[in-house]
Structure 1
Amino acid sequence: MIGPDLLNDLLHSPILEPLSLSYYPPTSHVPSDKVQTIHAVVTQRKSQLAALDDRIELLNHAMEELQVIQARLKEKRAIVQESLKYHEALASPARCLLPSELLGEIFLRCLPQTNYVTPSSNECPMVLTKVCRHWRVVALSTPRLWASLSISLLRANTTSGDEYKRWLEKARSVPLSLRVVHDMDLSDRKEPLSIQWLRPFLGQCSDLWWHGPPVQGLLDGSVQSLSRFQVTFHKASILVSIPSPMPRLRSAVLQSMTCDLHSLRSIDLPWHQLLELKIQFALVSSATFLQVISLCTQVQRVSVSSICVDPLPQTDLQPFPLIGTVNHSIHQLEVNVIRAGLGNLFEALTLPALEELVIRFCSPDMYPWPHKQFSAFVTRSKCPLKWVTIHRNKGVESHLTEYLKMLPGLKMVT
């Protein structure tokens, strides 16, 4: 092996200076008494060249050895660096030496308090992958962290949904909760909106909220895992069609703050299998509401807003009377009333299983409380009513004593 002394000798060994005969041109006549001197110079130069070649060869060999040594040192440094990171992670409070399964459960409780997570590099779950190597491994191996997502079709259109696909693929086979916001402007588009990248994930979805204009054939594929379906309409684009079987669908939410609901012609749902239903429109006709109640033979919780209980002689459902509507499954009913006529609705309803009733008046104290109709409704239904909450109508307060005698144990809030 080349030592430092030898390297120093290679770099600083002196070279004999030759005799200077440069004043003789190569073609000139050299005096005979100089020939011997010239031969001595030639011999010396050959010896010097041989010595320099030996040193160059030796130095080349030394450089090769140094390169090998450098490579080994770099390899050892990488091992030491990795060990440093590992032991720093062991000592880090972030790791806490918790089992991966328990750490994964803690991660789940760090998710945003929303049903649908909007991707952000500074929020859970993505931020968890940046803390340390161990956290990243645990986060990526916890599928439920990635099972919730809010999707913008406008954003997905620029990348063919690649960002969202990578996210949802981490969920593996876990049921998904998706909110899809249709924020694309289709007014200038010649071809229809393509959501082919999304369809495989819809088949894995148990909770779907479609927000925006409807898409033809959205639920034509396999959506048998869907248990909750919410749709928010824009403007007059009320269209819900579920041609595929949905044996697990139990909850539905239909809402639009800009549209009125006077008919079910554009809404096709498996009403008979629903256990929970919310209808939230700017206005819902009483006839349509009663029709829904008659179709939902298993529903237990119903919320309707804002119901218009005035007669509507020009609606499509004029032949449907506001009488004789019985539902044996409703346990909880919440009604937001926008106009007078609540008494007519009480006269039309019979709810033998009702336990909780919430009524909100949109205009406080503008309409009288329908005491006679409510009393008749309770008597006719023979329901085990336990809770009654009336908001923004003080007229009910004068009848509280009578209601408590009618229903012993009733808790009534006004």
Structure 2
Amino acid sequence: MQTANSQVNCSSASDIIGALQNILAHSQQISDFKTPHSRANHIPNTNYPAIELKGECISNIVAERQQQLDTVLLDISGLATVMGNIENLHKQLVEQKNKIIQSMTFYKGLVSSLWRLPTEILSQIFHLCLPEDKYLSPASKQAPMLLTTICRPWREVAMGTPSLWCRLHVEPTGRDWEKAVAFYHSWLKRARGYPLSLAFKCWNSPEHLSLLQPYVKQISSLAIRVYHRSGISENLLNDLPRLPALQELVVQARQAPNFSPMTSISTSRLPSTMRSLDVSDLPVFDITRLSWFNSVWVHLTNVKISTSHPGALLYLLRLCPNLSSLTVRTSSFYKAQILEPLTHANIQSLSIVNHSRNIGCLTGLFNALSLPNLRVFELCYGASNLWSRKVLKAFLARSRCSLESLIFSGQLTVTEVQQAEYIALIPSLNIVVDYSSQHFS
């Protein structure tokens, strides 16, 4: 008698169907277990195993049932095997379905104009897919990583476009740092010598320096957030390699209020290519600290800094003759004082961010300052302040600038009457009152 065991190795749909048909046939053949002597099953006396009823021996019936049981057990084993084969076959069919759909999609795509686009145009489209963030997170579900998973042609174009890989946000990964370094290197190597913009979310280990080393001649922008509370020495920044192509440096230390990393960075490590410096998150600068960077200030066009000394601010402007944009953060200015007049011809954007009610020094500062090329002026306060309209109007009149935007943000209140006074001085002036400013977040 053929059993399902003969079909144990079946893998095709026809083999599986054949095995199932055999099992079904067997079950039908032995589905009736009644005999003319079934009532003998109820005989209570079992002391006579060889009782014969109408010429048929019970022992023969038992032997037949044993054979039937063996057959059923074999069928059950075979059915289990067939069910496993069905599951495997289902997986194979699903995989085949996906491959067929993928192949259909590919060949349908061949008639699409998208596939006939030159590589240069496709590269530009890929650029438009990049997040607007200054530094890109290496996430698999966003460009440029996502572009490498769509299809082989797109992967080749994405991998072959160096400018897609020039920005990177490096995050700490703990025990997986070595694996992460390998990934970061593979990312940065795709830039093929293009200028790099790198950001380190947590600069707290000499290992980060090793990541920079192969690309020191490419790094044009570097942002570092230092966590001093973890016990990392601020001298770590002094080990920063020379970056001859560096144009922008950002240093943050929000969790280390007494951290002064700029005191340990040698000026020789800040090249003449520097154009932008953002240390507004660091402790306030005074004139002494400003003097440490005389060789750097002269080249800067954009500065963000914290200071509570009005004289230091004017001194900074003297050190930066090419400065076009300045943001000053302060929590407490000194009292008003008479300062030596200063005219800076290149400042186009000025932002004063004050966190306290004390604005006495602003009076002395703006009485001494003239900015004839100023285009955007922002005053932002974290607390309600009594701002002297007379001082501001005198500053604008003295500067004779073609101011385009005057922005009041934070908690500074400006009435419509006051706005009209400023517009009377500069008719084309656009005044913005923004109470949702994020300067104080």
Structures share fold, TM-score greater than 0.5: yes
Structure 1, residues 213-246: CA drift from partner, whole Å, max 9, x if none? 552444442x232222211124122223341463
Question: Distance between the aligned counterparts of 1:181 and 1:232, measured in 2?
Answer: 10
- Supply the distance in 2 between the matched residues of 1:135 and 1:111 (Cα, whole angstroms): 14
Matched pairs, number: 314
Q: CA deviation at 1:330?
A: 0.7
Q: Find 1:362's aligned residue among 375, 382, 391.
A: 382
1:237 aligns with 2:226: no
Q: Distance in 1 between matches of 2:189 and 2:363?
A: 53
2:225 matches 1:206: no
- 1:359 Cα deviation after fit: 0.9
Alignment-derived partner of residue 120 in structure 1: 139
Among residues 280, 303, 311, which one is paired with 1:277 in the alignment? 303
Give the partner amino acid of 2:346: S
Q: Which one of 394, 398, 415 corresponds to residue 376 of structure 1?
A: 394
Quick one: structure 1 residues 200 and 399, their matched pair in 2 at CA, closer, same or farther if it must change by over 3 Å? same
Pairwise CA distance, 1:304: 1.6
* SS of the residue 1:357 aligns to: strand
After TM superposition, list the pairs within 5 Å mapping 1:250-289 onto structure 2: 250-256=275-281, 259-262=283-286, 265=289, 268=293, 270-279=296-305, 281=306, 284-289=308-313
Deviation at 1:248, TM superposition (A): 2.8
Is the partner of 1:123 in helix, strand or coil?
Answer: coil
Q: Which residue of 1 aligns with 2:369?
A: 349
What residue in structure 2 maps to residue 310 of structure 1? Answer: 334
| Matched letter for residue 349 of structure 2 | Q
Q: Is the 8 A contact 2:308 2:334 kept in 1?
A: no
Q: Does 1:247 align with 2:282?
A: no
Question: For the residues of structure 1 that align with 2:432 and 2:100, how far apart are their CA atoms?
Answer: 65
Where do 5+ consecutive residues of structure 1 fail to align?
1-81, 187-191, 313-319
CA contact (8 A) 1:353 1:384 kept: yes
Counterpart-to-counterpart distance in 2, 1:144 and 1:163: 18
Alpha-carbon shift at residue 385 of structure 1 (Å): 2.7
Q: C-alpha separation between the residues in 2 aligned to 1:153 and 1:198? A: 15
Superposition deviation, residue 96 in structure 1:
3.4
- The one-letter code sitting in structure 1 at the alignment partner of 2:147 is L
- Aligned-partner Cα distance in 1 for 2:125–2:420: 50
**Partner of residue 171, structure 2:** 152
CA distance, structure 1, for counterparts of residue 101 and residue 423 of structure 2: 73
Q: Is the 8 A contact 1:160 1:197 kept in 2?
A: no
Instruction: Name 1:3's counterpart in structure 2.
Output: none
Deviation string for 1:349-382 (max 9, x for gaps)? 2222222211122213xx3221232233233323
Of structures 1 and 2, the larger Rg is shown by 1
Aligned mates of 1:384, 1:354 — CA distance in 2: 7
- Of residues 200, 216, 226, the one that matches 2:246 is 226
Query: How far off is 1:153 after superposition?
Result: 5.0
TM superposition shift of 1:211: 1.7
Q: Distance in 2 between matches of 1:334 and 1:114?
A: 22
State the SS of the aligned residue for 1:394: coil
CA gap 1:307/1:274 in 2 versus in 1, 3 angstroms: farther
DSSP-derived class of the 1:359 partner:
strand
1:38: which partner in 2? none
Contact kept, 8 Å, 1:343 with 1:373, in 2: the verdict is yes
Taking the aligned partners of 1:92 and 1:278, their CA distance within structure 2 comes to: 50
Structure 1 Cα separation of the partners of residues 163 and 207 of structure 2: 30
Which residue number corresponds to residue 134 of structure 1? 153
Q: 1:402 to 1:147 in 2, by over 3 A?
A: closer
Deviation, structure 1 residue 389:
2.2
Query: Residue 354 of structure 2 aligns with which residue?
Result: 337
CA distance in 2, matches of 1:84, 1:361: 60
Note the aligned Cα RMSD (angstroms): 3.2
Q: How far does residue 130 in structure 1 lie from its aligned partner after superposition? A: 1.8
User: How far 1:109 sits from its partner (Å)?
Assistant: 1.5
What do the CA deviations read for 1:114-162 (whole angstroms, capped 9, x no partner)? 1111112222222222222112111111111111111135557434822
Look up the equivalent residue of 1:168 and give its one-letter code: L
Q: 1:137 to 1:276 in 2, by over 3 A?
A: same
Cross-structure match for 2:108 = 91
Per the normalisation by structure 1, the TM-score is 0.66
In structure 1, the partner of 2:322 is 298
1:97 and 1:217, CA in 2 relative to 1: closer, same or farther beyond 3 A? Answer: same
Bigger proportion of residues as helix: 2
The alignment status of 1:196 with 2:210, answered yes or no, reads: yes
Kindly tell me: are residues 260 and 274 of structure 1, through their superposed partners in 2, closer, same or farther at Cα, counting changes over 3 Å? closer
Deviation at 1:307, TM superposition (A): 5.4
- With over 3 angstroms needed to count, the CA separation of the structure-2 counterparts of 1:83 and 1:218, relative to structure 1, is farther
C-alpha distance in structure 1 between counterparts of 2:124 and 2:274, whole Å:
28
